[in-house]
Amino acid sequence: MIAACRAPARRLRETPVDSDRTRHLAACDLKGASSLHILWDFDGTLINSYPNYVKAFHQMLGRPDISEDDIYPHLKVSFTQAYVEFGVSDEQRALLQLLIREFPPASFPPFPGIRDVLAANTNVIMTHGPRAEVMKILDHHDMTKYFLEIVTIDDGFPLKPDPASYAYLHSCKPIDLAVGDRLIDILPAKALGMKTCLFQNPEEGADFYLNDYADFNRVIGARNR
């Protein structure tokens, strides 16, 4: 477990922290901020990875009575829910990880418009994915440079929706906004009083909703006009 903020040598990109940006999120006016410090989920939020995950899951199950369309809604909630729904064994889980690793990083594309949003803000990631796989994809797409910090399953934090990993990142530099594609991505942020955004997910509970990152500047802060 990470006990304190990582030293600069372990940061992926070093950017000075402006002490004037420290503020209570309850009073944060996102519309008026020149840039935001954003906590991102990875799969399904930054990277369109679920098509590969669904294919691998379907191959792992090897059941003709279950389609990829049957699998997708359960995976979008969480891998844990999909494991329970389809009775996946530990051996099958290990096989699934092997199948996922067979996909080349080029087959995990970033969502259109995300680079512009990342370039205009400061960013961190919290993901349940393995660090090696996450870094392989980010490096392939030349996206590592956009992130101050990346927390993965390897860092030992409890799984979402436990807020421990978000609290760690928030303690390093206050988070203005948390963006994810699932409710479990925003629940930890809400528990800590952060503003939240759901991407391509209309479920209730978020402050903002986006279907296309081209609309980021128009949508984020709309309630603060």
Same domain, 36 and 58: no
Q: Is residue 203 part of a domain?
A: yes
Any domain includes 176: yes
Same domain, 131 and 153: yes
The predicted pLDDT at position 84 comes to 97
Q: What angle do CA 131, 133, 134 make, to 5 degrees?
A: 65
Q: Is 53 a residue whose pLDDT tops 90? A: yes
The reported pLDDT for the residue numbered 15 is: 33
Residue 70 domain-assigned (yes or no)? yes
Check whether residue 41 and residue 55 sit in a common domain: no
Residues 114 and 215 in one domain: yes
Residue 15 lies in a domain: yes
Lowest mean pLDDT among 25-39, 54-68, 112-126: 25-39
Tell me the pLDDT tens digit for each residue of 95-142: 999 999 999 999 999 999 999 999 999 999 999 999 999 999 999 999
Range of the domain at 27: 8-48+110-224
Question: Which carries the bigger pLDDT value, residue 12 or residue 68?
Answer: 68
Name the domain boundary from 91, 106, 121: 106
Split into its structural domains, the chain has a count of 2
- Is 31 among the domain residues? yes
- The residues near 170 (Cβ < 8 Å, ≥ 6 apart) are 39, 192, 194
Q: Specify the DSSP class assigned to residue 89.
A: -
Looking at residue 43, what is its pLDDT?
Answer: 97
Selected residue with higher pLDDT from 223 and 57? 57
Residues 44 and 54 in one domain: no
Q: Are residues 137 and 199 in the same domain?
A: yes
- Give the C-alpha separation, 138 to 105, whole Å: 8
143 near 12, Cβ under 8 Å? no
